[in-house]
Every structure is written in structure tokens, then in C-alpha cells.
Amino acid sequence: MIPSQPHPQQPPYPQQQAPYPGPPHHPGAPPRRRRWVVPTVVAVVLLLVAGGAGAWWLWGRDGGGAVQYHAGRAIPAPAPVEEEPEQAWEVEGGGTVIGSDADEVLVHDDGTVRALSMDDGEELWSADLPEGTQTVAPHADPDGFVLVDGQEMTVSWFSIAEREVTWTVDGLVTGTDEDVVYVRPGTPQGEGGDVAGLVAVGQDDGEVRWRAEAVGGATVGDDLVVVRSLDGEVVALDAADGEERWRVDRPQEGLFVAVADGVVVVAGADGVTAYAGEDGEEVFEEAGLERATVTRTAPDRVLVLADDTAVLLGEDGEVARTTLDSEVERQSGMAVFGGRVDGRWVVEVPQGRAGSVVLDEDLEEVAPGPVRFVADGFYAYDEGDVSFHDDLGGEPEWTVESPGGTVPVEGGLLTYPEDGRLVLLR
């Protein structure tokens, strides 16, 4: 089913536990380097599984160095369509966009990945994916993408250069970095097993970089892998070798973690606390924000959502605070998006059934949602129309009717009409 909103709902990661079995089943040669635009988080395991004809937020190409923040993760922002777009091509068949660059766009559809030419939509190549696997987003690596099998509990890497799966390990994805996939070891559902920690697997060869005893969802940033352990601790590991830097005791359920500008921000039932990334020393505490989520929205900013309250935090504490029109669900931190518009960092925040709203660095409303950020601008969606804005509060540069759900690709918009076609506008 084609999603009608730019940010489709995503299922949570499964939380089975079991031991790591050993080396990859299919080690492969390192693929060549490319530069891509990709749908893209991070959080705990199937949170980012793409499905059906849905479209994910893209791994943007560099767009001149611009970035956006998708559910807490910094990814390149694609270059926008600056002038009113026209239809460039259309092809039969739907699917999920999993990556694009200036030359081709990758689409996952019913167990097959296809590469379509950005010039004319011609199929350049295709490859069958292992039965039962699903693509995982976000993943901003141009060389390939992660596949997961929730039933068999395996994690695989598809190499774009090799056009095939080059390695597979048992377990669950719990986070990704530029060249590493973090796996929580496991065995197929119903087979039981014991927890054996966190494993860092190299994307290029499937080799284990390091293992750690810490178990839980991983948040990656500032050369740290921060794990919310099952026994109520927050453990900071060195991303290079898995060595423990520090740990703090937070014996609560439902901890949320964000890392920004050398500060680790942790939200739990008793409030929000920030720790210095270097040594774990407490930097500040916001005790009144209970049962909150925290999400990185800019290089040095973390957004806290607690009921109907939004608070923007910097390295020294509170920067701005506002009251939203409606309360937000606790998982809604995964639907927070940040981007740079007209030289200013802004954030799109969900407002429950009321939709979403775009707030500036003072948490003042500057635009209604939903939007999608691109390089120094955003696309706005309104009742079947899509428009491009390169500033805040002004008139759009252009507005066109959208024939279906849309996904920004490098210098274009890929749309999903309900008749099963893919249409590129640029």
C-alpha cells in the first residue's frame, strides 16, 4: 500500500535474545566506493524495515555538504529541484526506494532490487534478494544496504558493486555507522539462547571488528556507541574498538538516548540527564521531564518530547521550550526530523493526530507539516500538492500536483501513483 504521508509508520525492532554463532556465512570482497542518496536511524532493530510500496526518507547525497537529521541520525541531504519540475519518465511497477545518486535509483520490490536509470527510467540491472529478507533504513553507505530476516534472525549485507549478498550473520540489527553494522546476537524465533553481547561487523567484509558484553539498543555518535543495557545501565563504548569508556546506573524501563556535540542525553521515567561523552560526568539534569524521548536534531541540539512539552537542549542545558497543541506518543521521537533552511536549523515535530509542525531554533512555529528536508530547504505536502521552500515564512518557489506519495532523490522527486507506476519529476 502506498503511504499517503511522507513519514510512514514503522514497526518496532524485535527483542529476541540469543548467542552469537561465529563468523559470517558468506564473506565477500570489499565493494567499490560510490556516493549515494538513501532512505534512512537508528534505534533498536526492525524500526527501520521498509515494506510494500512505501517510500523512506532518503540517504541524501551530499547536496554541497548539507545534512539532515532523520530520527536522530545525521545523513546527507539530497539536492532539491529548484525550478518547477516536470515529468522526466515513468515505469511500471512499484517498490521502496532504498538509494539513489545522479545516475541511478535503487528500488526494492517483492524480493527483487532494481537499478533504474535517472535519465530515462530504463532498468540497468536487477538482483533477487534472499527469501524472507527486508531492507533496513536508514543506511547512508553508498556501497550497499542491510537486509534482515525477522524469522530466521539473520543480518545480511547486499553489495551494490557485487550485486549480491556478500555476508550473513545471525542476530538482530541494533544500530549502524558509516562502515559498521552493530548486531545483537540471536537465533531463530522459538529456539531460545543466551545473550552474548554486542558485535560490530564490518560492512565491507563481514568480519567482526569487536565484541562487547553490553547488551541492548545502540545509539551511535561522536565516536561512541552508547548502549541501553537490559539491566538498567547506560554504557558508553569506544566505536573504534568496543572498549568501555564509562557507565552509569539508570535502572528504568524505556530509556531513550541521544548523542550530540560530545554530550550523551538520556531520558527515562524520572527525567532527562546529560553526561559528558568523554568521561560520563553529569552535565545537567531536567527532572521535570518525565517519560520523555530525546532525539538529535542538529549538530549541537537535542529535542526532548514529554507529553505536550517540547524542550530544545544544548551542551549547557535548556535552549528553548514550548507547549504543543496535543500530546505526543512516547515512540514519536522516531518521527522527529531536523534540517537547515535559510541558514537556520529547524525541526519537524509530530503532534499526534494533529499531524506535524516545523519549529525554529526558538521552538516557534514557522511552517505546518508534513515536510521533507533537502539541501537548505524543504518540500511541503498539502492535499495532493508538493511545494519547494528555500526560506522560512515566504512563498514557495514552486507548487505542483503530486500524483501519489513522493520521495526526494538527487535533484528530483520520485512519485508513487496508485496505479502501480513510478514517475520521476525533475
- What domains can you pick out in the chain, each with its CATH number? 45-425 (2.130.10)
Weakest-pLDDT range from 186-195, 245-254, 411-420: 186-195
- Categorize the per-residue pLDDT at 136 as very low, low, confident or very high, splitting at 50, 70 and 90: confident
Give the pLDDT of residue 354: 62
Weakest-pLDDT range from 19-23, 30-34, 230-234, 263-267: 19-23
Distance CA 360, CA 338 (A): 10
pLDDT of residue 158 exceeding 90: yes
Average pLDDT (192-200) is 65
Give the pLDDT of residue 32: 33
Give the pLDDT of residue 31: 33
Give the pLDDT of residue 29: 30
Q: What is the 3-state secondary structure (H, E, C) of the chain?
A: CCCCCCCCCCCCCCCCCCCCCCCCCCCCCCCCCCCCECCCCCCCHHHHECCCCCCCCCCCCCCCCCEEEECCEEEECCCCCCCCCCEEEEEECCCEEEEECCCEEEEEECCEEEEEECCCCCEEEEEECCCCCEEECCCCCCCEEEEEECCCCEEEEEECCCCEEEEEEECEEEEECCCEEEEECCCCCCCCCCCCCEEEEECCCCCEEEEECCCEEEEEECCEEEEEECCCEEEEEECCCCCEEEEEECCCCCCEEEEECCEEEEEECCEEEEEECCCCCEEEEECCCCCCEEEEEECCEEEEEECCEEEEEECCEEEEEEECCCCCCHHHHHHCEEEEECCEEEEEEEECECCEEEECCCCCEEEECCEEEECCEEEEEECCEEEEECCCCCCCCEEEECCEEEEEECCEEEEEECCCEEEEEC
Give the pLDDT of residue 20: 24
The percentage of the chain sitting over the pLDDT mark of 90, rounded to a whole number, equals 38
Stronger pLDDT, 315 or 13, i.e. the higher one: 315
Stronger pLDDT, 344 or 229, i.e. the higher one: 344
Give the pLDDT of residue 389: 96
- Categorize the per-residue pLDDT at 8 as very low, low, confident or very high, splitting at 50, 70 and 90: very low
CB 52 within 8 A of CB 229: no
Question: pTM of the prediction?
Answer: 0.79
Query: Tens digit of pLDDT for each residue in 70-81?
Result: 878 888 888 999
Weakest-pLDDT range from 37-46, 77-86, 116-125, 322-331: 37-46
The percentage of the chain sitting over the pLDDT mark of 70, rounded to a whole number, equals 77
pLDDT of residue 125 exceeding 90: yes
Average pLDDT (249-275) is 84
pLDDT of residue 100 exceeding 50: yes
Stronger pLDDT, 189 or 19, i.e. the higher one: 189
pLDDT of residue 22 exceeding 60: no
